[in-house]
Structures are given as C-alpha cells and as structure tokens.
A = this chain, B = another copy of it.
Amino acid sequence: MNRICEIFGIEKPIIQGAMAWAATAPLVGAVSEAGGLGVLGVGFAPPEFVEMQIRETKKLTDKPFAINVFIEKEEILSRVTEVAIAEKAPVIYADTIIGLDPALTKKYIDIWHENGMKVVVKASILNDAVIADNAGADAVIIKGWEAGGHVTYETTMTLVPLAVETLSCPVIAGGGIIDGRGIVAAMALGAEGFEMGSAFLMTEECDVHPNVKEAIIKSGDMDTVVTGSCTGEPCRQVVNPLSEKLCRIEDENPKAVAADLIREMASSSLRLAMADGDMVNGAVMVGQCASRLNKVKKAADVINDAMKEAKEIIGSLSL
C-alpha cells in the first residue's frame, strides 16, 4: 500500500495545493470526496473564517481533508490550532514561506499529534524539510521552483531526490505536476505522493473569478515570472501589467528600495485577481505548467485522469 494513502487515510496519493483565495470548501470537499486530500488554503485567514470553512467542507465530505497553517506568528497559530482541535480537523498542512523555526515547528507538531491530527509540512529548501522531518512530520511536501505562488530556487527534479535521500519520512512532490506524466516523473525521483495546485485551480469546483482560469488557458511557454526576489519572498505569477510593473521596479532600483515598493504593491494583489478578477493589478499565482493547462475540468476528473495516465505510462516504460 502507498504510504501517503496509509498515513492520511486517503485512497489516492494526490494532495491539492493550499492556494489562498482559491482552495475553499467547494474545491476541498470535491478533492477529498474523489479520494485525494483536499486542503483548505486558509494559511493567512482569521480563525473565524477557518472555522466556517471547516464546517462547510464537512457538509461536502466525511473523508479526510487538511487545513493550511503558517508556522510563523504564534498568536495566530495558537488560535487556529484551537479551532482545528475543536472542529476535529483530520490533517494539518503546515508551512512557512522560507525558514522554519525548529522549536516552534516541533512544539506545534507535538500538539497536533497529541490531538489526533496527522501533519504534513511543505518545504521548498532542503533545510526546512530536515527541520520538519526532525520535528516528527508524518510527511514532507517538496515544492519545486516551477510551482505557483511562493517558491525558492530549487526545482522539483533537483530537490525531490535530494530530500528523498536525506529525510526519514515519505516525500510528496509538488511543482510541475498536472497529470500522469508528472506523477510518474515524481515517482522516479522517489516521491510517494503528488501535490497539484494549478491543475486544481482549473476545476469547476474552484471558486475563483473566471478571468483567472481564462488567463491560465491563454498562458504559454515563458508566460509566468517570479517577482519580488528582492523581498526574500519570491512569488510566481502570470505575466501581466502588475508583474511587469513589479519587474520594472526591481530592474530600476537598488534592492532595498525595490523591496519596500514591491511589498506595498503586492500585498493585496492575490485577492484582487482571485476574488475580483482584476487582471491588471491582480496576481494570478500559478505554476509554469500553466502552459499546458488548457481546459476546466471536474476535480474528480483531474485526479482520475492523472492516475489512469500514470498507470498507463508505468506500463509503457522500457529501456
């Protein structure tokens, strides 16, 4: 049996990415109901919203799902943990943008475990993955640079095998995976689970503004860009007037000046795109695989088509 399925009590080793303003109850319920692990993208949300989203999700599925929390400000972490315990959330999907605090990570993984929850931690550098593994995470998600949203600099092809050879817990690969090809590639690299974000953005159940899906369909090769490296929080998004403005600021200014300007401009840009459909000032955070995403599907079809294709590819490989 697949270890990721065993640990999280799911039928298919597919994890849906914790996308803020996109991974809300309708998508999460659909993914979990189809046998994957739905993840509420509520990492920056207030506890009341988290509680409401958990309750909505439970109306749609009685299978396991996860809630996204950030291992950063303990005040928020503690309040969201209370909600998670009260609502009996089955899985915690913890992360930070870059640089996990080892003590805080260990403290909360222990609390979550004591309360019967499973814990998966997302990392995009090896050191964060090691911290999570040492702190007792049940599995670690390795997010490669090709993924959407916040990333660091190592790609899936590089970081997944490095993590597999270094960690004691099972590894889930994320970044560049949208179908059976990506799943089998990740398996070859040593991953036992597969996170897809962008592919689930392109589902009927994903409650984002239609402009977002249209922008992804239109995107081809080289149509995403990483902005804000100067802030220490690089972020991949679709090339549009906002991203061009951010890049221009980075090009034309010394690093420290650019960082201040970009932080202010980027702060509510994800909401502007996802909720309001603003394709001028909003940030459509999606992976490089946007170039291969050309239609909107049902979440269950994303999972089942990918699993079917993966099995076919495995059967066809020979050297």
Residues of A bordering B, CB below 8 Å: 2, 125-127, 144-146, 152-159, 161-162, 165, 175-177, 181-190, 220-222, 225, 230, 251-255, 287-289, 291-292, 307, 310-311, 313-314, 317-319
**Do A292 and B184 touch across chains, with their CB atoms under 8 A apart?**
no
Partner of A252, one of B2, B220, B255, B311: B255
With CB as the reference atom, state the residue of chain B lying closest to A186.
Answer: B185
**Do B157 and A175 touch across chains, with their CB atoms under 8 A apart?**
yes
**Do B221 and A159 touch across chains, with their CB atoms under 8 A apart?**
yes
**Do B145 and A155 touch across chains, with their CB atoms under 8 A apart?**
yes
Distance in angstroms between the alpha carbons of A121 and B158 in the assembled complex: 24
Distance in angstroms between the alpha carbons of A251 and B255 in the assembled complex: 5
**Do B184 and A157 touch across chains, with their CB atoms under 8 A apart?**
no
With CB as the reference atom, state the residue of chain B lying closest to A178.
Answer: B161
Q: Give 19 A-B contacts (CB < 8 Å), ordered by A residue.
A: A126-B220, A126-B222, A126-B291, A146-B157, A155-B157, A157-B157, A157-B175, A157-B176, A158-B287, A158-B291, A162-B221, A181-B188, A184-B184, A184-B185, A187-B317, A230-B251, A251-B254, A252-B254, A253-B254
List 4 A-B pairs, minimum CB-CB distance, nearest first: A157-B176, A184-B188, A126-B221, A251-B255
**Do B152 and A146 touch across chains, with their CB atoms under 8 A apart?**
no
**Do A154 and B222 touch across chains, with their CB atoms under 8 A apart?**
yes
